Structure 1
Amino acid sequence: MSSGQLSRRAFLGAFALGTRPAVAPTAPPAKPAATSVSVAGTAPAASGQPKSGGTLTAGKLGDVANLDGHYWSPNAGLHVWLAYDTLARYDANFKPQPQLAESWEVSSDLKQITVNLRKGVTFHSGREFTADDVVWNLQRALNPKVTVGIITGFFGQDPTFTAKDKYAVVLQTAQPWPTVFDMFHVVNMLDKENTDVASNAQTKAVGTGPFVFQEWRQGESMRFTKNKNYWQTGKPYLDEIIVNVRKDAQALVADLESGASQLVYAISLQDFVRLKSDANYNAQFLTPPAGMYQIQPNVTFKPLDDKRVRQALNYAIDRKRIADTLLLGLVAPQDLPWPASSPAYEQAKNNLYAFDLDKAKSLLTQAGVSNLELDFVHAPTLPEYATIAQIYQADLAKIGVKLNVKSMDIAALFDVIHSQKYNGFYTLNDSWTAMEPASTISVGASLNPKINNAGFKDAQYTELAAKAAAEPDAAKRKELYSQLNDYILDQSFGMTIAPTTSRVVAKKSVNGLEFRFNDVMYFGNVWLS
């Protein structure tokens, strides 16, 4: 298969029919398999041609947890991901486009992928990027101690990686790997000579990306400068990006309206709607949603190990109120994480846990639970989290459940949820839902059967997820997704509330901004007019 010519779903459909996709590099783009997949992910074009120069000052809520390019941190790409490239990147129609991989060939059984690398690419250190670097990065990304199991989940079963020559890598798996391009899209290529192989406690961030990491002032800001030796000739356009950390959404809006920032991420929805109607700004949602608002229980903490208790607490979530009031009706409530464009989407199952405090109380009684007291932890990375906690706290109080709401910075939150040290619930959006559902399940910190923030483990769930991840036939995979949906709903170890409302507002002078399908923005094409 030649690179960048078929959409992911068209590729999978061709494979399911027993054909091997092969399209010439000059072929026109294939039509998307689902019309709802296309996105309004790029800012409206400005008149005139892109021009080089200038500093983009951006703002976001909360700091990053660390500097590791293989560690997933929900900061919309306003962090060290600016310094990295991936092997390929999906365009708006889910077609993988060449990045560090110039082309690739896939075997008819989907168990072997030969990746041909772009020549002449160098790391920010000046060292040449080669096949050995790809092998090192893919092997490192398999280590759950580094990735907390998130990026690791993008890989097929029992993968091996071999440098065929200086510019070619062979990837092999024991089972078919239908989601391989999801991995191409998200696994950053780090400079092995400037990265600790076994730890995510990095002090450097050295990649091949459009911007060079310069400084991290913890709790305050990050600074990146133009990669003058970038492999994409003439890019990036910007000379510098400064990312300022703010503690609340009001400060972000103040920065934007005063001119201190040209772009802000995750302001309040009320301000987003207000500024969207202002001709001085471009306000964008990521469409389709790349994740979901959710609440997740720690199933290792009694009595949350009892499925009936988790189901009771699932019925106590007033999703409709949260969607209609807090999220301003911009998204609909749903019990499952999938957007309508997903092959796992099932509208009929999205209202199983309609708000019902009587049913919640009855289930708690059946489980012999009374005078229950739980913690609810969250980070201030989105202004909605605190309000979700308050709504849930008030409703649970009506059935005799006390909820202690605690806010903490993102690094502290990651520490407690990754090791199940929270005595109740947390809320934090999970990403990846716009990708193939098998990837979402294998990768998401909330649904991963091997390692998840709930501490949930079950052989049946692991088996179902593994079957879906290795099933090349789209129709059969869809059947498996339906079974997984039933299982996720029944076990209630991950409680979806609604699709995410990932949002950014920028001055009209900011052009070329793009969203990727993993809730990350891409700045390589951004320019200032």
Structure 2
Amino acid sequence: MIKKLLFISFAVILVSMIVFVGCGEPEETATSAPPATTPAATTPAATTPTSAEPTPVTGGILRAIAGAIPKNLGYGPEKAPNDNYQMLPVIERLCEWDEKGNVIPWLAESWDVDTTALTLTWHLRKGVKFHDGTDWNAEALRWNYQMGIDTKRLADAAYVKSLEVVDANTLRMHLTGFNWVLIENFGLLMQPISPTAFEKAGGGDIEKSKAWARLNAVGTGPFTVSEFQRDVVIKFTRNPNYWQPGKPYLDGIELRYIPDPMVAAATMEAGEADMWFDVSAVQNLLDLQKKGFKINWGPGMFQCMLFDSANPESPFANKKVREAVEYAIDRPAIAGMLGQGLYEPLHQMASKTWPGYIEGYDPRPYNVAKAKQLLAEAGLPTGFKTTILLSDAAAARDAVAALQAYLGEVGITVEPDVADLGRYFGSVFGTGYKNIVFTASGINPSTTDLYTHFGPRPVTFRTGNMYKSPEFLAKCEAALDPKYMDKNQALPGIKEAVRQAGEDAMLIPLWRTPNSAIMMPYVHSNYFLIHGIIWTPVDDWMEKH
């Protein structure tokens, strides 16, 4: 009966999801000194277009649309996930990912790790300037790291003992320990702004500087901000003094806010936009693909339910209740109805596309009788009432409606708490939440999303609401042993942590969604091919049209 009702309910599916990459507050950890190794300095790989690739054309304004646009332009400690990647035209990263999940240089030219001396040394790209004309140098990087440390928003800041400016283009981080994730956390998550512009704007008043930075951004990127209307549009104009000769190709980018996926789809079909960012609306994807639009398919999003299980007063502090919730949900059925074949139902904290996936591991398949039994054992034989926080997006509403129906069958009455993106992000990534939250996270090609989102020192879900067992935390730390220099060496340990999360019913994995970018056939962009946070607008271009 549930499946029939849900099929009718979800005849029309509208989806709009957000990539969750933010900043985290580290916890203090003690790490013993690892054996000495000195990896070779990392340098960027040369990329040359093949004969099959068309030659980039310069000029034009790329008209893009998205369900969320930046609200905070330049003050990193308070940025929401989309604030970071959508400001990449202006504020670049120290490092990036390649298509295989390897960390590659960007504003850094290379780096050295000394695991005996416990140092990480960054060698910075020379000749780069911020938009205000000041130099990108080691002191600027030190200042940006220090801001992250002082505001407790630098991931794994507990590992940083001190910062040493060796020379104009070399910064050395003295560490308390080392693990293979640090390069990513200190490189990929670092988007430096101009210290001079920030301090000058406040005239010595830090609060005035923060207020200014929320509405302004001075980075090193290929574009500058020419117009910003919050929740309306942000416009980027070509930086004529950009450090890569001959780039960017585009004259500018306009990013408009269109939260309704039906309106966004109509805008694309009317030819009023060239590109639609971060799309997971299944029907829109299928329809526009059939009509000849180009689709950049990404790795998708890991959708799940998180609990306030760290609260001893919450019913979800009881493992049997969390287990009951998982048994009560028929994930393959819901994924099939919502995703029309594009969703992958999940039974562990990993999709089949992720290196840490455990073949055959499905700890709690759909079983209503088992769910009711566990609730009775937890002292809740007639069920209970609870709430679920979700964003005000069609995808979230549809998914939660399905979850309500299944949980209702075992006596759990769920009341949706629908929040606008401001309140939603503020709760999930900042102030915290009660009961259940329906959410999603990016799937990293490097497997580091285990740590970014759910590990001992998460960057995104860092509110402390979710209980993490000592066994899970220990297995996460074991996979960070200094003897491992990359994800491949650490992979067996990562799988052990994934299995432990499943045994603990730490969260409820639901399904992987097919997030993507939709664009006109004449648009060339890498957005979403690697990950939802990877976009190199300096290389975007459009054929004459």
- Which TM-score band applies after superposition, normalised by the shorter structure? 0.7 to 0.9
- Between stretches 498-507 and 337-346, larger displacement belongs to 337-346
Offset of residue 75 of structure 1: 3.3
Offset of residue 458 of structure 1: 4.6
Change (3 A) 1:25 1:260: closer
Instruction: Determine which of 283, 290, 306 is the counterpart of 1:296.
Output: 306
Instruction: Determine which of 55, 58, 61 is the counterpart of 1:55.
Output: 61
Offset of residue 19 of structure 1: 6.7
Deviations 1:450-501 (A, max 9, x none): 6346343554443332332234336773343233123211332322212242
Trace 1:251-266 onto structure 2 (pairs within 5 A): 251-265=263-277, 266=279
Trace 1:235-314 onto structure 2 (pairs within 5 A): 235-265=247-277, 266=279, 268-279=281-292, 281-287=293-299, 289=300, 291-299=301-309, 300=311, 302-314=314-326
Unaligned runs of 5+ in 2: 1-33, 200-205
Trace 1:453-492 onto structure 2 (pairs within 5 A): 454-473=465-484, 477-492=490-505
2:174 maps to a residue whose letter is Q
How many angstroms apart in 1 are the aligned matches of 2:131 and 2:182? 27
Percent identical residues? 22
Contact 1:114 1:169 in 2 (8 A): yes
Deviations 1:497-520 (A, max 9, x none): 122422110001211334374422
Instruction: Determine which of 107, 117, 120 is the counterpart of 2:114.
Output: 107
How many angstroms apart in 2 are the aligned matches of 1:227 and 1:23? 30
1:244 maps to a residue whose letter is R
1:188 maps to a residue whose letter is Q
Change (3 A) 1:135 1:17: closer
Contact 1:65 1:410 in 2 (8 A): no
Change (3 A) 1:158 1:93: same
Q: Which residue of 1 aligns with 2:192?
A: 189
- Between stretches 107-116 and 117-126, larger displacement belongs to 107-116
Q: Which residue of 2 aligns with 1:528?
A: 542
Instruction: Determine which of 493, 512, 515 is the counterpart of 2:525.
Output: 512
Tell me the SS of whatever aligns to 1:153: coil
Deviations 1:208-260 (A, max 9, x none): 11221233322212221112211111111112211111221101101111111
| TM norm structure 2 | 0.81
How many angstroms apart in 1 are the aligned matches of 2:387 and 2:40? 54
1:187 maps to a residue whose letter is M
Tell me the SS of whatever aligns to 1:385: helix
Instruction: Determine which of 396, 403, 409 is the counterpart of 2:420.
Output: 409
How many angstroms apart in 2 are the aligned matches of 1:487 and 1:187? 31
Size of the aligned set, in residue pairs, is 488
Tell me the SS of whatever aligns to 1:429: strand
Instruction: Determine which of 214, 226, 229 is the counterpart of 1:217.
Output: 229
Contact 2:65 2:258 in 1 (8 A): yes
How many angstroms apart in 1 are the aligned matches of 2:521 and 2:50? 9
Tell me the SS of whatever aligns to 1:126: coil
Do residues 85 (structure 1) and 89 (structure 2) align? no
Tell me the SS of whatever aligns to 2:433: coil
Tell me the SS of whatever aligns to 1:325: helix
Contact 2:62 2:274 in 1 (8 A): yes
Do residues 326 (structure 1) and 338 (structure 2) align? yes
Contact 2:42 2:110 in 1 (8 A): no
Change (3 A) 1:481 1:94: closer
Offset of residue 131 of structure 1: 0.2
- Between stretches 60-69 and 113-122, larger displacement belongs to 60-69
How many angstroms apart in 2 are the aligned matches of 1:262 and 1:222? 15
Do residues 157 (structure 1) and 159 (structure 2) align? yes
Deviations 1:94-127 (A, max 9, x none): 3433211112222255932221111111111221
Change (3 A) 1:372 1:216: farther
Unaligned runs of 5+ in 1: 1-15, 30-42
Tell me the SS of whatever aligns to 2:89: helix
- Between stretches 396-405 and 423-432, larger displacement belongs to 423-432
How many angstroms apart in 2 are the aligned matches of 1:44 and 1:357? 55
How many angstroms apart in 2 are the aligned matches of 1:24 and 1:294? 36
- Between stretches 133-142 and 156-165, larger displacement belongs to 156-165
How many angstroms apart in 2 are the aligned matches of 1:318 and 1:508? 38
How many angstroms apart in 1 are the aligned matches of 2:131 and 2:238? 10
Tell me the SS of whatever aligns to 1:271: helix
How many angstroms apart in 2 are the aligned matches of 1:518 and 1:27? 19
- Between stretches 257-266 and 490-499, larger displacement belongs to 490-499
How many angstroms apart in 1 are the aligned matches of 2:542 and 2:50? 13
Q: Which residue of 2 aligns with 1:94?
A: 101
Offset of residue 526 of structure 1: 0.6
What is the root-mean-square deviation of aligned Cα atoms in Å?
A: 3.2
Change (3 A) 1:503 1:26: closer
